[in-house]
Amino acid sequence: MEDLHGKRAYIIGGSSGIGLAIAEHLARHRGTDIVLFGRSLSKLKKAQQQLAPGVASPRQVNCLSVDVDNEEAVNVCMTEAMRTFGRPDILVLSAGTTATKRFVELSAEDFNGVLQTNVQGTVNCLRALMPEMVKTGGKIMLVSSLAGFMGIFGYSAYCASKFALVGLAESLRWELEETPVDLCVLCPPEVATPLIELEKETIPKETRAAKDLLGTLEAEYVAAKAVSGMLKGKFVIIPGFKARLMYLVSRVLPKNLIYRLTLKMVALTMPKN
């Protein structure tokens, strides 16, 4: 297991979910210093307390509140963070939200809000930190989703945002080729995080059935696979056998055939009324 003792990781969206799980894995199993970022200071403090028992020193885990949607606030916060803690050796961009409804039922505010946080929030953090990381080297992980490769019923806003992140990662991979920065994109299927609870009241039954085809992974498992893949130099990291199989199938078979097969599989798993 590679030792990252003394390395510094900035985890954007680190107060819960995949971001917190990655922070926990890095701190407890790799000896990494952690700086958590998120909107809610109270949630960040709770996450900090959750990590503290498993680390060598309380000083190993710090946190700063920031709204990633606000470019000016991000610039101020990241400047302060680098002045206080130093440049990141690892940057995990995990801030995200969802709005799970049929497209015709989604308000413009809801749709645009998903794109603003998932895409523009990621871009804002990259603009603030990537130029500094290029000077000294490091690793950047964008957290997308398996929904960044295939459309899902009821996920028009979420899929649009995650497709955008995959495209962004592919472009940046070219631009960072001659720099000391390695970039990867994490694309898991459904993960047991607070977002699942957030969407329970609005998720269409078709969406639930489609997601059930691949199952739900635990955040700790995803975090371990994410860090392992990043350290091995993988570009696309897809945790879970079913998810990797679906990804490979989606790259090989014609889109129309995949669509028809998925329709039939979803129909078989749909609850009978």
Q: Which one is catalytic: 101, 162, 211, 225? A: 162
Active-site residue, 250 included: no
Active-site residue, 162 included: yes
φ, ψ (nearest 5 deg) of residue 47: -65, -40
Distances (CA, A) of 266 to 153, 183, 258, 259, 271: 10, 34, 12, 10, 10
Confirm if 20 and 34 have CB atoms less than 8 A apart. no
Q: Which one is catalytic: 16, 94, 144, 156? A: 144
Q: How wide is the angle at C-alpha 148 spanned by C-alphas 144 and 151, nearest 5°?
A: 145
Active-site residue, 242 included: no
Q: Which one is catalytic: 16, 158, 225, 247? A: 158
- Three-state secondary structure call for residue 268: helix
Distances (CA, A) of 245 to 40, 68, 189, 214, 218: 37, 33, 11, 10, 18
Residues involved in catalysis: 144, 158, 162
